[in-house]
Structure formats: C-alpha cells, structure tokens
Amino acid sequence: MPTVRLVNRAQAIRAFGAFAGAFAVLGADTTPAKIIVGPGVSPDMAAFYRGIESGAFKNAGLDLQVETVGPGGTGIAAAIGGSVNVAYANFFTLSEAFSRGIPIRLVAPGTLYRATTPTARLLVGPNSDVHAPADLAGKVVGLNQLHDLLGLAMFAWLDKNGVDRTKVQFVEVPPRSMMPGLESKHLDAAFIFEPFTGSMMAQGAKVLGTPFDAIAARWMPTAWFTVDTWSKDHRATAQRFGEVLMSIYPYVNAHYLDLIPMISGFSKLSPDTLRTMTPVFAAPSFDTATMQPVIDAAVKYGWIAKTFDARTMIL
C-alpha cells in the first residue's frame, strides 16, 4: 500500500515556499520540469489559471503545457493515453475507475461542496405543480449525466425523503436545454450545477431541494489526478504541482469577485453570468471525511462493487 500523506493548507504553503526558494537557489540554468496539464473550462479552474497568471508554477520550476479536456471520463482517458500528465475530474468517476483497477493517483483536491452554500440545486419551473419530494413520483427529472455525481446524489436524496426512486424517470439533458424543458413541461424538475442554476433561477426557476446534501454536508466533488504510468517516474513533479495549487486556494476562495475577469476569459462565461452564481470553494486539503462519503454512497447503490479507503488513492 502506498504511503498516505494528507496535506493541509499550512503544509502546502510551506512546501510551496520551499520549492520556490530551492528553485531560485538553483538558478536560471536549471531545466524546469515539463508537465502536460488537462484542465476543464469551468469556473473551478480559477486557482489553476491564477497560478499561471501569477507565475506561481513557473517560479516553482514547472513548465506547464495546457491541453483542455472535456468532462466525465475524458480526462481519465487522456491521462491513461498519455496525452496529458495531470487532469481534473469528478471524484465519483475517479473512484469508480480506481475501484476497477485503473491506477488513479490524486494530486490535489478540487472543490469542496458545503451545504451552507450549495453549488448544485434541484429546480422546477415557475408554474410547476411539484412542491415537495413526494410529488416527483411519476415525474421526469433531467440530469446532465445519468451515471455520475448528480444521479448518485438524486438516489440518495430521494431515499432520504422516502421517495421510491424507481418511480422517478431520469433523462439525460444538456444543461442549456434544462430551462426550456422546465418551461415547456417536458421536464418536471432538473438537477444541475453552477453556473446554470444561477441563470435559471434568474429566469424564474424555483429550488425544490439540494440533493448533494444527501451525500454529506461537506464533501469533495472533484480532484486533480494523475496515473501511475506517469507518476511513478515523476512523483516529485506531480506533488509540486499539487502543492502549488493548494498554496493558491486560500487567495482564490477569498477573492472570487476580483477574479471574475480572469474566470470569464478561460470559461467563456460572461461576467454577469458569473456574478449570478454561487462561487465554488476550493478544498483546502485532502480529508477522509470529505472523500469517503462519495465512495460509500456509490457502494450503497451498486455503482461501485466494493468499498475501499479513499486515502489509498492519494499520490
């Protein structure tokens, strides 16, 4: 079993300072460590692009090549195929892959879901007759992806509210089609994340619930990762990348509004749209308490065959 190392924020900041200082001492002739990174395009990427903009990665001796990847399992496929070295994905997808023997190694935490500031909501139309969880029996609920965090959370939320999930029809719907679906009543409800929830609520959609709460009040939906085929020879580089990211997280968490112009640039979302959304919050460290609930829920509903300790995924 690999050595498990939980990195808190203070440790990450100290480590980043040590790396940056060591690189400065080595001098300009030192060859930077090359790393191909596959970020997404969502507002979650604020710390990553802040690190590029501020020169934090460069100052730590990292030469980044950016290759944007799509959602879901796209990043995992790219990492396995070698087109990227480090990528970003949702934690359920990573956990499922790890449970099937794919050598996933977590490099840095991604976002932290907090029930006090939900970033995903189950919405109904302005004139909906759905007013409570029980009203969803016999109804149609739209999800961005069926076998993903949203579907898993819906199962847990319906169970928690005593609703037979077999009586609810789930359909896969692109996020931008959800509000038209609610307005036309082709959908009775839609479960979606930011930035879409903010804009849909501005158009009159109403909140029925926050199903992510059924997984836990605090948990980690996303993470940065690599695979053993690359990390076994580049462990220090991967760890340095993660430590730089975590050193930036406190600033990003505290300065969302200041970073909107930068976020708009890489996400292609308008500043007005970004101002309507609940800001995502970067997880300050790897923590079993915020990782294990996803694995436990996936095992409960048969989406992962057998439970395992979340810490064994950490590089």
Distance CA 89, CA 222 (A): 6
Task: Tell me the residue type at 163.
Answer: V
pLDDT digits (tens, 9 = 90+) for 185-239: 999 999 999 988 988 998 999 999 999 999 999 999 999 999 999 999 999 999 9
Share of the chain above pLDDT 90, in %: 82
CA distances from 76 to 94, 183, 252 (A): 8, 36, 26
Distance CA 141, CA 173 (A): 9
Residue 219's closest CA among 228, 209, 210, 207?
210
Query: Which pLDDT does position 30 carry in this prediction?
Result: 67
pLDDT digits (tens, 9 = 90+) for 83-97: 999 999 999 999 999
Is residue 13's pLDDT more than 80?
no
End-to-end Cα separation, the chain, in angstroms? 11
Buried b (16+ CB within 10 A) or exposed e, 167-194: ebebeebebeebbebbeeeebbbbbbbb
Distance CA 91, CA 97 (A): 10
Mean pLDDT, the chain, whole residue set: 90
Query: Which pLDDT does position 195 carry in this prediction?
Result: 85
Q: How far is CA 135 from the centre of its chain?
A: 30
Fold of 120-214: D-Maltodextrin-Binding Protein; domain 2 (3.40.190)
pLDDT digits (tens, 9 = 90+) for 258-269: 999 999 999 999
Q: What is the pTM of this model?
A: 0.88
Top CATH class of 9-112+220-313 equals: alpha beta
pLDDT digits (tens, 9 = 90+) for 137-172: 999 999 999 999 999 999 999 999 999 999 999 999
**Mean pLDDT (whole number) for 18-37:** 61
Outline which parts of the chain fall under CATH 3.40.190.10: 9-112+220-313, 120-214
Query: Which pLDDT does position 22 carry in this prediction?
Result: 39
